[in-house]
A and B are shown apart, each in its own frame.
Chain A
Amino acid sequence: MSVALIVALPFLGALLPGLMIRAGRNACAATTGAVTLLAFILLLIEAPAVMSGEVIQYRIEWLPALGLHATFFLDGLGLLFAGMILGIGLLIILYARFYLSKNDPMGLFYTYLLLFQGAMVGIVLSDNILLLLIFWELTSLSSFLLIGYWKHLPEGRQGARMALAVTGLGGLAMIAGMLILGEIAGSYDLTVILQHKEAIQASPLYLPALLLILLGCFTKSAQFPFHFWLPHAMAAPTPVSAYLHSATMVKAGLFLMARLWPVMAGTEAWFYLVATTGLATMVIGAAIALFKDDLKALLAFSTVSHLGLITMLLGFGSPMAAVVAVFHIINHATFKAALFMTAGIVDHEVHSRDIKRLGGLAALMPITALIATITALSMAGIPPLNGFISKEMMLEEAAHSAWAGNPWVIGAVATFGALLSVAYSFRYIAHVFLGPRRDDYPQQPHDPPFGMWAAPALLAVLVVLIGLAPGFFAEPLVVATAGAVTGGNLPEFHLSLWHGVTPALFMSIAAVAGGGLLLWRHANLERLWLAAPRPEAKRIFDALVSAAARASGRVTDALHDGALTRYLAILCVAAIGIGLAGYLGGQHSPGQRPQLPVSTVPVIGWLLLLVSCLSVALFHRQRLLALVLIGVIGLIISIGFIYLSAPDLALTQISVEVVTVILLLLALNFLPKQTPQESTMPRKLRDAAIALAGGLGVGALCWAILTRDFQTISDFHLEQSYPGGGGTNVVNVILVDFRGFDTFGEIIVLGIAALAIYALVETILHGPVSRRLRAWTADQVEAKDRHPLMLVVATRVMLPISLMVGVYIFLRGHNEPGGGFIAGLVVAIALVMQYMASGFAWAQSRSRYDYHSLIALGVLFAGLTGVGAWFAGRPFLTSDFGYVTIPPLEKFELATAMIFDLGVFLTVVGSVMLALASLSRIARRAGETLNPDPMDIDPSAVARDTEVR
């Protein structure tokens, strides 16, 4: 339980700093510190048991489907890392309290810091590798925030993004690696995985898993060639650099290598990948560090170098090397965190981190100088400090390792690395603190307040103590930790300052001497270094990312440039292609259905249709003509429907077509009347080819279906129409009864269309369009009479007759072709006729129906008819009907379906009229005037008027 709590505490506490900042900066820091301290204490409570070899576990079931569980375990390795994370974390919190300026949002900083801390603790205490992945990614995210904390600095932004990109890449690789590992081991639990060394190393998937996991580790731990992100992350505030980039996050990779050491290490692949990478990183990092003038950059690359060292040790695969690795991890954490803090102090006091502008600070800030010197000497590996011991042991291991059969390569290169390390460490001391006292500092630097140097001082003390008495101060922890790393087969060893006269001693002496020499000739070497061509990692990375972004942008823009016509062409080709593939992919036998005979008139109709289709394609640029042709096609299709026994379809088709044409004409009035000739010939040919392919495909499909027999469910509808649905027009009974639900949806579509049109017109009329419309002038010659007398008179007679026809079609629909929908259209067309004759305004002023309400009522009628069935305990839309006889009249039928159909009727009328009304508003905004009279000239009215007026 407490293991889980140690992980959870930083997360739970993460909100507190944000809240406490109102109580002041001290309270904020204290709260953060208290949370961390609490976790640290919990850890210490468990420490004795762990040191004695116990493993503490805690498990919460989370996601069995995946094998992802909240399981934690605490062993020596976990203890060391968790202790480091929390312990150094405490010091960083203290340090940051004084480091951050008043302008920096401190609450946010501590929140991020706690999040990061929790994620780190999570990594080192996870027993489930998927859970570990989660924490792993969380460290990337929280470090992104921490690095970018000073968001106004471009370096901070770039550094944060680079760190995120690189560690993100590694994290993703690791996901794959971990999943493979889990696959091999049959579990995602580390405690289980660590038992399966043989199975894992024998698996063919071992190498991919290893590569992927190492990619994650190397990126996180800034191993060559992924070392470049680390220095740029140094744009972060110094506490962040000290914490993330020396003590914790960069060690996550090391931790994982150590964690998986028992099952992954010991193979050739492991050795060559890990040891070589480590060695290379150690030397390259050190070389770069030597020539960095920025204090933090120097320290950053020194960190890279030391991480390489540790990686190399882990790569050796021998238990003793692992022991050394663990020991150096501890030592590095102590001196490097302290060094970062001294660098921060210098920056804070002098306002510069440029070595070239520093020097002689020992006299001005003696305490800082002392701390820096001790820790830097430890970094250089000078006795009697802790760095010396672990470096000696490292050189010893290096001396005993052979690379590709060559026994001295590793030793030599490692010594060279150590030599460089000595050089930059001495440089840090000599060029910053020693030398003549300078007077060109903007203000006199002096030692900071106690709170700021307390933390590094404590670490410096540790550096000395471990150096002097490693057996007492470090050995138990190293034993416990290394025991965990090596999986129990720990060699006999003893940590001490003096190892005797070993090859390592001579290597060490060579390193110190060579390092001194290098520093002495530093100026000359620097000239050489600067003159030498070397890849600037940041520039490469930036170029890579921006090239990727640019390429992505180009691909994206090229594909998604808004050319709908191309999108549609692709859609058509895709549909044709997949249809063809489907056809070719299955058995096909030609149909056996006898075909209907062909007589002359249908052939003529067919000819008409074909010619009209061709004409539409050819003449479509004359838009009015295209609409006339649409009219022709609609007419022929309607006749076709009648001929082929579908009278309802014919009625619907023809009336829908006329309303469509009217709508299109209304819209066309404000659109260009001609389509310009702008397609190139190849394009036309391409489109024609697609069109022909589509036409052929659809035609062939239709033919294939028409010529084969089939069994259909509609026999039921034919049988049940009269007895069950109470109507002889099966199509209508299907519409209002069997599949009334479809019709319900359909009228809603219509209603929505009208509402959407209305909303659209409303919106555009309230926008800039309104102004443009006011300035609109007709683009074609206009006749002078708006409402010719003859049409007005004719419609006066036509309207009542048409309404009669509408009622008739409505009433007979259940038994004969017709129904609510067609009736609605007939009535709408009759009204439209009236509107065309006498103008919208006049006609509208005669009937004050609210079309919105008509639509709503229609849908409600239909819907409530459906709901009504609930009260009879029946499902939605269950119909009922009965026959009524009132003498002396004939028997007639009453059906609930009629009410439903009435809803359909109302919706249709309302929708059509609302759409037309909306369009006429555009015209009105375009300057059209209202007509108070139904016709332009009424000769009889003139006679009457002269009397009245």
Chain B
Amino acid sequence: MILLVEVLISALLVVGGFFALVGSFGLIKLGDPMTRLHAPTKATTLGVGSVLIASMLYFAVIEGAFSFHELLISLFLFLTAPITANFIAKAYLLHRAQPEALPRTERDCGWANFDAPKRDAVLTPPLNEDPAQR
């Protein structure tokens, strides 16, 4: 049983390392920033994910103490990775992409990067009061 788990852990580690490596390799191999974005956002998450699972198993089985920390880290990563990717993509689009070259939104407005929010917020004039004082 222990051996099985050891094998499993080892496999997870190897897989994790491999994917992480591929992800970072993609980061240098791929030719265009938008495509480069794919590599780390996916490969790395699986890489780290595998390592985290391996770690949980390791502590639970080998060290005999359950560890939930890893779940929390995974939660954080899964929550944040898409946002990070989204922002990097937006930053790239803003400076490098022609809005015309992008597919149409099929709505009566453009992409948020280039077109002001459709239902514009009711903008108030600048306040003179100090927000820190209220």
- Chain A residues engaging chain B, CB cutoff 8 angstroms: 758, 762, 781, 783-786, 788, 790-791, 794, 797-798, 801, 840-841, 844, 848, 850-852, 913-914, 917-918, 920-921, 924-925, 927-933, 936-937, 941-942, 945
- Asked if B105 CB lies within 8 Å of chain A CBs, one says no
Say whether B131 contacts A840, CB under 8 Å: yes
Task: Please determine whether B126 and A930 come into contact, CB atoms closer than 8 angstroms.
Answer: yes
A790 to B85, CA, bound (A): 11
- Complex interface: chain A residues within 8 A of B114 (CB): 783-784
CB-contact partner of B127 in A848, A924, A927, A945, under 8 A: A924
Q: Are B113 and A783 in contact (CB under 8 A)?
A: yes
Given contacts A791-B83, A850-B133, A920-B131, contact A932 B90 (CB under 8 A): no
Would you call B126 and A924 a contact (CB within 8 A)? yes
Chain B CB count within 10 A is highest, among A784, A840, A850, A851, for: A784
Contact partner of B125 (CB less than 8 A), chosen from A758, A851, A929, is A929
Q: Whose C-beta in chain B lies nearest to the C-beta of A789?
A: B112
12 pairs across A/B with beta carbons < 8 Å?
Answer: A762-B130, A781-B94, A783-B113, A788-B87, A788-B90, A791-B87, A794-B80, A794-B83, A797-B79, A850-B133, A921-B132, A930-B127
Inter-chain contacts of A932 with B (CB < 8 A): 121-122, 124
The answer on a CB contact under 8 Å between B112 and A790 is no
Identify the closest chain B residue to A762 (Cβ): B130
Question: Which residue of chain A lies nearest to B117 when distances are taken between CB atoms in the complex?
Answer: A936
| Interface membership of chain B positions 69-107, coded 1 if the CB is closer than 8 angstroms to chain A and 0 otherwise | 000000110011011001100100011000000000000
Q: How far is the CA of A936 from the CA of B94 in the complex (A)?
A: 17
Q: Across the interface, which residues of B come within 8 angstroms of A848, CB to CB?
A: 134
Nearest A residue to B134 via CB reads A848
Complex-state Cα separation, A852 to B114, whole angstroms: 39
A-B contact count (CB 8 A): 91
Closest to A795 in B: B83
**B115 contacts the other chain (CB 8 A):** yes
A788 to B89, CA, bound (A): 13
Residue contact B82 to A921, C-beta cutoff 8 Å: no
Question: Contact check: which of A786, A844, A852, A933 meets B131 at CB < 8 Å?
Answer: A844
In this complex, the member of B114, B115, B122, B126 whose beta carbon has the largest number of chain A beta carbons within 10 angstroms is: B126
Nearest CB of A to B9, in Å? 19
Give the distance to chain A from B24, nearest Cβ to Cβ, in Å.
12
Please tell me if the beta carbons of B130 and A921 are within 8 angstroms of each other in the complex: yes
Q: CA A890 – CA B116 in complex, angstroms?
A: 56
Q: B90, B114, B118, B119 — which one has the most chain A CB atoms within 10 A of its CB?
A: B119
Identity of the chain A residue whose Cβ is nearest the Cβ of B118 in the assembled complex: A937
Q: Range of interface residues on chain B?
A: 20 to 34
Chain B residues, Cβ within 8 Å of A921: 130-132
B123 interfacial by beta-carbon distance below 8 Å: yes
Q: Which residue of A lies closest to B119 (CB)?
A: A942
Which chain A positions have C-beta within 8 A of B132? Answer: 758, 850-852, 913-914, 917-918, 921
Q: Quick one: which of A784, A797, A917, A927 contacts B115, CB cutoff 8 A?
A: A784
**In the complex the two chains form, what is the Cα distance from A579 to B80 in whole Å?**
48
In the bound complex, how far is the Cα of B117 from the Cα of A781, in angstroms? Answer: 17
CB A561 to nearest CB in B, in angstroms, measures 39
A786, A918, A929, most chain B CB atoms within 10 A:
A929
The 7 closest A-B pairs by CB, nearest first: A936-B117, A785-B112, A917-B132, A929-B123, A844-B131, A784-B116, A783-B113
A784-B115, A928-B126, A931-B121 known; A794-B79 Cβ under 8 A: yes
Least distance between A75 CB and chain B CB atoms (Å): 77
B126 and A781 form a contact (CB under 8 A)? no
How many whole Å from A611's CB to the nearest CB in chain B? 14
**Closest Cβ–Cβ distance, residue A372 to chain B (whole Å):** 80
Bound Cα distance A499, B46 (Å): 127
Bound-complex Cα distance A936 to B121 (A):
7
Q: Give A931 to B127 CA distance when docked, in angstroms.
A: 11
Are B86 and A790 interface neighbours, CB within 8 A?
Answer: yes
Q: Which residue of A lies closest to B87 (CB)?
A: A791
When distances are taken between beta carbons in the complex, the residues of chain A under 8 Å from B122 are: 932
Q: How far is the CA of A937 from the CA of B119 in the complex (A)?
A: 6
Task: Report the separation of the CA atoms of residues A812 and B134 in the bound assembly, to the nearest whole angstrom.
Answer: 33
Whether B133 pairs with A785 at a CB distance below 8 angstroms is no
Contact B113 A785 (CB under 8 A): yes
Alpha-carbon gap, A929 to B127, bound state (A): 9
Q: How far is the CA of A931 from the CA of B131 in the complex (A)?
A: 13
> Min CB distance, A1 to chain B, in Å?
68
A784-B134 Cα distance, complex, nearest whole Å: 29
The listed residue with most A CB atoms (<10 A of its CB), out of B76, B82, B83, B132, is: B132
Distance between Cα atoms of A930 and B123 in the complex (Å): 6
Nearest CB on B from A921, distance (A): 6
Q: Which residue of A lies closest to B83 (CB)?
A: A794
Q: With A918-B132, A942-B119 in contact, do A781 and B95 touch (Cβ < 8 Å)? A: yes
Q: Please name the residue on chain B nearest to A791 by beta carbon.
A: B83
A784–B99 Cα gap in the complex (Å)? 12
Known A790-B82, A914-B132; contact A937-B117, beta-carbon cutoff 8 A: yes
Residue of B nearest to A761 (CB): B130
Interface string of B12-33 (1 = CB under 8 A from A): 0000000000000000000000
Distance in angstroms between the alpha carbons of A936 and B112 in the assembled complex: 9
Which one of B119, B126, B130 lies within 8 Å of A929 (CB-CB)? B126
Q: Nearest-CB distance from B94 to chain A (Å)?
A: 5
CA distance A852 to B79 in the complex (A): 33
Q: How far is the CA of A928 from the CA of B126 in the complex (A)?
A: 7
Contacts beyond the supplied A783-B113, A928-B126, A936-B117: 5 A-B pairs with Cβ under 8 Å: A794-B82, A801-B75, A801-B76, A840-B131, A929-B124
A928, B134: Cα distance in complex, Å: 19
Most chain-A CB neighbours within 10 Å: which of B76, B80, B82, B131? Answer: B131
Nearest-CB residue, chain B, relative to A918: B132
Cβ contacts under 8 Å, A786 to chain B: 117
How distant is the Cα of A486 from the Cα of B94 in the complex, in angstroms? Answer: 101
Structural contact, B126 and A925, CB atoms closer than 8 A: yes
- In angstroms, Cα B83 to Cα A844, docked, is 23
Closest to B120 in A: A936
Give Cα A942–Cα B87 distance, bound, in whole angstroms. 24
Task: Please report the C-alpha to C-alpha distance between residue A920 and residue B130 in the assembled complex, in whole angstroms.
Answer: 10
Q: Measured between alpha carbons, how far is A781 from B112 in the docked complex, in Å?
A: 14
The interface residues of chain A lying within 8 Å CB-to-CB of B80 are: 794, 798
Which residues of chain A have C-beta atoms less than 8 A from B94's C-beta? 781, 783
Give every chain B residue within 8 A of A924 (Cβ-Cβ). 126-127
Check A917–B112 contact: CB distance below 8 A.
Answer: no
Q: Which residues of B contact A925 (CB under 8 A)?
A: 126
Q: How far is the CA of A933 from the CA of B118 in the complex (A)?
A: 14
Would A790 and B83 count as touching, CB distance under 8 A? Answer: yes
| Interfacial chain A residues near B83, Cβ < 8 Å | 790-791, 794
B79 touches A798 (CB 8 A): yes
Select from chain B the residue with minimum beta-carbon distance to A917.
Answer: B132
**Cα-based distance from A742 to B113 in the complex (angstroms):** 48
CA separation between A848 and B83, bound complex, in Å?
Answer: 28
Q: How far is the CA of A927 from the CA of B75 in the complex (A)?
A: 38
Task: Decide if A788 touches B133 in the complex (CB within 8 Å).
Answer: no
The smallest beta-carbon distance between A849 and chain B, in angstroms, is 9
Min CB–CB distance B15 → chain A (angstroms)? 19
A783 to B97, CA, bound (A): 12
